[in-house]
Amino acid sequence: MRVAVVEEAEGRGLLQAVADDGAPKGPVEQARDLAAAVAERERASQPRWVWAATAELYPGLLRAGVRVDRCHDLSLAEGILLAADGRWGEPRSFPAALARLRGLPVPDDDARAAPAGQPALFDHHRLGLPDGAELLEGVVAVHADQQRRLAGGVRGAGAGWVRGTAGVGSGWASAGGLGLLVAAESAGALAAAEMAAAGLPWRPEVHDAVLTELLGPRPRAGTAPPRLRELSDRIGAAFGGQPLNPDSPAQLLRAFAAAGARLPSTRSHVLRGVDHPAVPLLLAYKELSRLHAAYGWSWLDAWVAGGRFRPEFVPGGVVSGRWATRGGGALQIPHALRRAVVADPGWALVVADASQLEPRVLAALSGDEGLAAAAAGGDLYAALAADAFAGDRARAKTALLAAMYGGDVGPLMAVLRRRFPAAVGYVEAAARTGEQGGLVRSRLGRTCPAPSAGWLAATGASARDRGRFTRNFVVQASAADWALVLLATVRRRLGDPGPPARPTGPHLVFFQHDEVVVHCPRADVERVAALVGDAADESGRLVFGDTGVRFPLAVAVVDSYGDTK
């Protein structure tokens, strides 16, 4: 069962049951208290909720103590469907989808009139929607249109594309694959809102201690930490005592030139090739300066409250399907500061990290039996080395990464091509498609961006660059498919953890590319660790079907996130 829902002012709302194909199944229901109505319907039948955008409606339900099991996010689904049709760059929000459906001017995605969490999703009158009833009618209509597109498949644009199963296909995305992708993306949006509501356990005193250890005591506002001031003085001394601002590339380049080293830039990889006493000091300064700017005391004041860090995740925020964040830098937490992520007393963190995910994904995508056999063991690179590279793990890893990401490794690639022809052929077909201006897709149908107008007028190196992008896209985006389905599967298996703001049972608190973190009462850690492992197996079957490739998870039960790798 599906139920379309819109929020009105003062906590009111409208609901309407719809069939799986989007057709209305009953009358419009008015709810004086939308959160209470959703909670009652959720208890009774756990429908799939259909709404304009999870990020705008669900946080309010969570604040009211209401958690839902499933949803269909119209904005996220529209983005997937537009891309599958080769229409990257078109606005994907619900207002844009409805405007296209009605033949009206299409608003930009950032043209909404109200911030997230407020009832008015956009200017109703501008789209001819004077009241909630017509807004609900629009939600029902967009959902029905999306269900038709999912059922019928979506025609791809360009010279061709790499199918999720193998080789270059005919141009039709799998409706089943896209349906699973839409469901997983919507479930991911629910998880993102729930993780923000629950928060990641964070000890401010540990964070402060780490900063003090690395930077010195907290400085006064507007001044640099003691360690940075010390390094700045030592850098100036290394250049003969001249006044020097280490944050000024122009000053550094002049200083190096005066010392006989003319550099193209002051980037870290350039500095590492220079023999000068200032270089190790500069590299240390850069690292600590980045830490202070991105995760220093100001970050702590802004992002941590009540012992919780609440990231604002953006599901599907990267073209490959990986997540992004709106501020806070949750996906780049420095390893040193992971020590501040500490489970509550009597609780633990269950951290599950996929092992060598992308090579395993390539084995499953390509159906290469030799690579699948190598992936059957624990260390894929070691098995690959024993099979084709005379036991040299480093050479095996270099060759396989070059196959996935592009790169000239000469004889190593020749060995890989000879021993694993299907795997190499798969990514090379994706590269050729990209070079010719075509589209490639992930296993579930997530589609790469179409070539830009500038690319279409370019040749040579630009075409090769796009080929490298599409070569990696089919693997990285398919890995993102698997990780997203894993997240949704873990969430479903964990069930309802209790009050959203302070859950009493195991609940997701963090998701990063191929890693999930569950905050868990100590009594539940064994069950949760087994549950996560089973979820990985189920996700492999859902995404890749009947494959011999396994996707093992390294599961650690820790008090602090810093105790993991």
Q: Which CATH number is 258's domain given? A: 1.20.1060.10
| Per-residue pLDDT at 379 | 85
Whether residues 136 and 227 fall in one domain: no
Whether residues 133 and 266 fall in one domain: no
Average pLDDT of the residues in 295-323? 96
Q: Is 275 exposed, middle or buried (0-12, 13-18, 19+ CB in 10 A)?
A: exposed
Whether residues 365 and 295 fall in one domain: no
Residues in Cβ contact with 247 at an 8 Å cutoff, skipping those fewer than 6 apart: 289
Q: What is the spatial distance between Cα 373 and Cα 359, in angstroms, rounded to a whole number? A: 12
Whether residues 7 and 122 fall in one domain: yes
Domain annotation covers residue 337: no
Whether residues 27 and 112 fall in one domain: yes
Whether residues 235 and 143 fall in one domain: no
Q: Which domain holds residue 430?
A: 358-441+449-472
Average pLDDT of the residues in 225-253? 94
Cβ–Cβ contacts within 10 Å for residue 202, how many? 22
Whether residues 221 and 289 fall in one domain: yes
| Per-residue pLDDT at 203 | 98
| Per-residue pLDDT at 459 | 56
| Per-residue pLDDT at 111 | 54
With tokens 């859902």, the residue in question is: 542
Does 175 score more than 70 pLDDT? Answer: no
Over pLDDT 90: what percentage of the chain?
Answer: 74
The pLDDT tens digits of the residues spanning 358-404 come to 999 999 999 999 899 888 877 888 988 888 888 999 988 888 888 88
Average pLDDT of the residues in 245-256? 95
Whether residues 63 and 130 fall in one domain: yes
Does 121 score more than 80 pLDDT? Answer: no
| Per-residue pLDDT at 504 | 97
Token digits of residue 246: 């280490």
Overall pTM > 0.85? yes
Q: Is 29 exposed, middle or buried (0-12, 13-18, 19+ CB in 10 A)?
A: middle
| Per-residue pLDDT at 34 | 97
Q: What is the spatial distance between Cα 200 and Cα 510, in angstroms, rounded to a whole number? A: 7
Does 533 score more than 60 pLDDT? Answer: yes
Does 157 score more than 70 pLDDT? Answer: no
Does 125 score more than 50 pLDDT? Answer: no
DSSP letter assigned to residue 373: H
Domain annotation covers residue 539: no
Q: What is the spatial distance between Cα 248 and Cα 238, in angstroms, rounded to a whole number? A: 16
Whether residues 119 and 259 fall in one domain: no
With tokens 């606005």, the residue in question is: 91
Does 456 score more than 80 pLDDT? Answer: no
Number of compact structural domains in the chain = 3
Domain annotation covers residue 494: no
Cβ–Cβ contacts within 10 Å for residue 130, how many? 10
Domain final position from 132, 152, 172: 152
Long-range contacts of 431-434 (CB under 8 A, 24+ apart): 431/406, 431/467, 431/468, 431/470, 431/471, 432/467, 433/158, 433/159, 433/160, 433/161, 433/162, 433/168, 433/470, 434/466, 434/467, 434/468, 434/469, 434/470, 434/471, 434/473
Least confident stretch, 60-74, 419-433, 477-491: 419-433
H-helix or E-strand containing 515? strand 515-521
The pLDDT tens digits of the residues spanning 35-66 come to 999 999 999 999 999 999 999 999 999 999 99
DSSP letter assigned to residue 343: P
**Residue 478 · residue 484 · CB < 8 Å:** no
Token digits of residue 517: 């973190």
Q: Provide, for the chain, the percentages of residues in helix, strand and coil under a 3-state DSSP scheme, each rounded to the nearest 5.
A: 50, 10, 35
- Greater model confidence, 124 or 95: 95
- The identity of residue 459, as a single letter, is T
Which among 444, 447, 436 is positioned nearest to 545, based on CA atoms?
Answer: 444
DSSP letter assigned to residue 335: G
pLDDT band at 147 (very low <50, low <70, confident <90, very high): very high
Domain annotation covers residue 134: yes
Token digits of residue 325: 């964040």
Cβ–Cβ contacts within 10 Å for residue 498, how many? 15
Helix (H, G, I), strand (E, B) or coil at 13: strand
Token digits of residue 8: 């009105």
Whether residues 10 and 135 fall in one domain: yes
Does 410 score more than 80 pLDDT? Answer: no
What is the rounded average pLDDT for all residues in the chain? 89
Average pLDDT of the residues in 97-126? 67
Domain annotation covers residue 421: yes
Whether residues 21 and 143 fall in one domain: yes
Which among 454, 455, 389, 397 is positioned nearest to 419, based on CA atoms?
Answer: 389
Whether residues 10 and 125 fall in one domain: yes
Domain final position from 265, 281, 300: 300
Domain annotation covers residue 64: yes
Domain annotation covers residue 258: yes
Token digits of residue 318: 């990267």
Q: What is the spatial distance between Cα 118 and Cα 112, in angstroms, rounded to a whole number? A: 11
Domain annotation covers residue 545: no
Strand locations in 165-280 (E): 200-201
Domain final position from 116, 136, 152: 152
Does 412 score more than 90 pLDDT? Answer: no
Average pLDDT of the residues in 210-218? 97
Least confident stretch, 81-85, 109-113, 256-260, 390-394: 109-113
Does 122 score more than 90 pLDDT? Answer: no
